[in-house]
Structure 1
Amino acid sequence: YLKRTHDTIFAIARVAPSLNAEFLTAITAMQRRFRGVRRHRHRRRRRAVQRWEALQYERRTMVALGTLVVLIFVIFALYISLVFGGALAGEEARAWLVTAAAAFIADTLLLQPLQI
């Protein structure tokens, strides 16, 4: 972009040599502005990356805690299923599992979207 602007202004300056100083000033001002914007963008991105890297420990901790909560929930659900499956007779256990599955599906499909 800067090279094209520079070339265009110099092509115009060749046509009107008396305006060379003004064109050079214009080119310099545009380049300075463009480089300032680019430098500002670079600094902002570098700060964002530094913040991202600084929070690496916290991100890993949250992922580990989330994984632990899901694992505990799954183990608890398996334990409850085994306890009720072993305590109830065949038909009662099947009815309990169907009821639990229906309640889970109803909660997931009907109630959770309303809460969000």
Structure 2
Amino acid sequence: MPGRPTTAPHPPAGRRTAQDTATDVVRWAAFSCVLVPVVLVGYGTSLAGAAGTALGLAAVTGACRVLLRRSERGAAQLRAAERTPHHVQHGRAYVGDRHGGRHAGGNTPVD
């Protein structure tokens, strides 16, 4: 139809991925790295003080971005491990009883 957007709308807030959320957090942090020094200069802080604040905020933002990405990778690996069957994780290619046959368990008396 004419006048309708060709791209899909953003997913609802409840359906957003962790990567989208982390990207939004980093964008807001980068925005604050610009906004905070401007406000500081507006309230009479020296340019050197505002620049130092901007550098400090940029360093914290960078560190947080690295930690968020590392966390996302760890969560993705954990989800992948949960989807992988247990016997495949430990290198066993068979399903069912491990060795067939009966053996005494830890609480079973042996005669």
TM, length-normalised to structure 2:
0.42
* Structure possessing the higher radius of gyration over alpha carbons: 1
